[in-house]
Structure 1
Amino acid sequence: MSVLLPRGLIVSLTPSPQSPWQHTQDVVRLAAAAQAGGAVAVKVDGPDAVRAVKRSVPGLPVLAVSIDGSHGGAVRITPTVRHAAALAEAGADVVELEADSAARRHDGQDLAELIASFAALGRPVKAGVAGVEDARTAVAAGAAMVSSSTMGYPARPHTGPLPDLALVAALVANTGVPVVAERGYATPSDARAAFTAGAHAVVVGSAITDPVWLTARFAAVA
């Protein structure tokens, strides 16, 4: 996995609702900027974005999700094998899913079986988890890496401060696969702390790609 995804920064290009950069061409421009700035990969939402980035920014690894609320009535990160297959067919280098066993049971799914089905598509699977137990389940089922990417999502609200460096350290100590630190990483100091905790990569989104969020942070001190 380290050959596919070197240690470093992953820029998430999944747009927040307030971002003005919602279209595929916006994602492509942001991907090119991320590559020029030294990112080792980008994260995008949906097969159209995967195809566009792979075509326009060659050599840049793409992690892909499908954020979709059509299965089970709740928004999930890559809810079904059908969603994962579409990402793989579009050329995603890594397919990511929300590896929350309780949420998946609510949807009538078994987490281990779902991850095994994703892995059978021939792409490495990145499992976003909120704790060590789900991480172990994900790795045993075939996940190639785990991350803290579900922290703060509606399915499992996070009540503590972000970023959760204790979770990163726990995943490093208990999983035996590369760990990606994700959710709430807003400064270089945050990212450095995650690497110190043993993370293989750190995902940063709004703090790089969302001008509304960035502007609001500065405006708040006026």
Structure 2
Amino acid sequence: MHIPKGALVVSCQARADNPLHGPIFMSAMARAAMAGGAKGLRANGKDDVAAIRALTTMPIIGIDKVFDDQFPVYITPDFESAVRIAHAGADIIGLDATPRRRNGGPVENLIGRIRKELGREVFADVSTFEEGKAAAAFGATYVATTLSGYTDETAATNGKGPDFELISALVAAVSVPVVAEGRFDTPDLVAAAFERGAHAVVVGTAITNPREITKKFVQATQPWAYEENTSAP
């Protein structure tokens, strides 16, 4: 199953410290996103993927975050993590396609095994133009700008909005669909990505993380905010 051209994909994820963590909440979030018109979903871990799969036949980009202090790569770092989310019902396997150290084999081998042994499409998260070209050459079905700003090499771009330059460069250079992801927090930014040739756009925090959305609004209150004096007179 493929991501339709022009699709908004909603990333339904919540880490363990988030009040919405877990398959019950993430499946409800996915249901809300579908009702709003999303044409694809991204989810982390076999439990969340399975819960969302039970709701829909819509394309699901499944990832499996495996954190290890010794390795910077944690998004589906090895074949075993890919197997878990494939068996849970993911149509498309998302993975970190950067050349950084991972607890697993080379990314080119991982992409090939997912395509051949699991029969799943591969959604390659990259941070640079060179990584995107390499992922496409390795056989990735989609190349996504997800990690731009989140690697040591690209950290300077974090906080500056989506990486439109990377989107445009990849669209011009690779034959596979380019998906825009990372720091899309307004409809205008989503439209701008499509204007630059993106096949689809993934939005996460701005739609599915009420805690972070609330923080942004609270920041606007700071000039008027005060702490009530509760001390005794």
TM-score of the two chains, using structure 1 as the length reference = 0.91
CA separation of 1:190/1:134 partners in 2, compared to 1, >3 Å: closer, same or farther?
same
Distance 1:25 1:152 in 2: 31
Give 1:74 shift: 3.5
Query: Does the CA-based 8 Å contact 1:18-1:212 persist in structure 2?
Result: no
Query: Does the CA-based 8 Å contact 2:205-2:212 persist in structure 1?
Result: yes
1:130 to 116, 127, 130: 127
Give 1:15 shift: 1.5
CA separation of 1:38/1:211 partners in 2, compared to 1, >3 Å: closer, same or farther?
same
1:59 to 53, 57, 66: 57
Q: CA RMSD in A?
A: 1.9
2:67 to 57, 69, 76: 69
1:116 to 112, 128, 138: 112
Distance 2:152 2:111 in 1: 18
Q: Structure 1 stretch 35-44 or stretch 149-158: which is displaced more?
A: 149-158
Q: Percent identity, aligned pairs only?
A: 36
Q: Deviations over 1:33-86 (max 9, x none)?
A: 00000001110001111111111x222221011111249543511010110011
**1:175 aligned onto 2:174:** yes
Query: Does the CA-based 8 Å contact 2:127-2:150 persist in structure 1?
Result: no
Q: Deviations over 1:7-41 (max 9, x none)?
A: 21111112256632101100000000000000011
* 2:76 matched residue in structure 1: 78
Query: Does the CA-based 8 Å contact 2:14-2:22 persist in structure 1?
Result: no
CA separation of 1:33/1:156 partners in 2, compared to 1, >3 Å: closer, same or farther?
farther
Distance 1:82 1:107 in 2: 11
Q: Structure 1 stretch 137-146 or stretch 68-77: which is displaced more?
A: 68-77
CA separation of 1:18/1:70 partners in 2, compared to 1, >3 Å: closer, same or farther?
closer
* 1:4 matched residue in structure 2: 2
1:152 to 135, 149, 152: 149
Given residue 24 of structure 1, which amino acid in structure 2 is its aligned partner? P
Query: Does the CA-based 8 Å contact 2:143-2:178 persist in structure 1?
Result: yes
Runs of 4+ with >6 A deviation: none
Given residue 76 of structure 2, which amino acid in structure 1 is its aligned partner? T
TM-score of the two chains, using structure 2 as the length reference = 0.87
The equivalences for 1:188-203 within 5 A come to 188-203=187-202
Distance 1:189 1:92 in 2: 29
Distance 1:68 1:138 in 2: 21
CA separation of 1:148/1:92 partners in 2, compared to 1, >3 Å: closer, same or farther?
same
Q: Structure 1 stretch 196-205 or stretch 58-67: which is displaced more?
A: 58-67
**1:42 aligned onto 2:38:** no
Give 1:154 shift: 5.0
| Structure 1: gaps (5+ residues) | none
**1:23 aligned onto 2:22:** yes
| Structure 2: gaps (5+ residues) | 222-233
Give 1:156 shift: 4.9
Distance 2:16 2:154 in 1: 18
CA separation of 1:208/1:124 partners in 2, compared to 1, >3 Å: closer, same or farther?
same
Query: Does the CA-based 8 Å contact 2:162-2:182 persist in structure 1?
Result: yes
- Considering only CA atoms, is the larger Rg found in Structure 1 or Structure 2? 2
Given residue 111 of structure 1, which amino acid in structure 2 is its aligned partner? V
Distance 2:203 2:127 in 1: 17
Q: Deviations over 1:164-213 (max 9, x none)?
A: 11111111111111111011000001101100010011111110111111
Give 1:143 shift: 0.4
Q: Secondary structure at the match of 1:83?
A: helix
Q: Deviations over 1:96-149 (max 9, x none)?
A: 100001x14x65632222211222220000001112222222112210000011
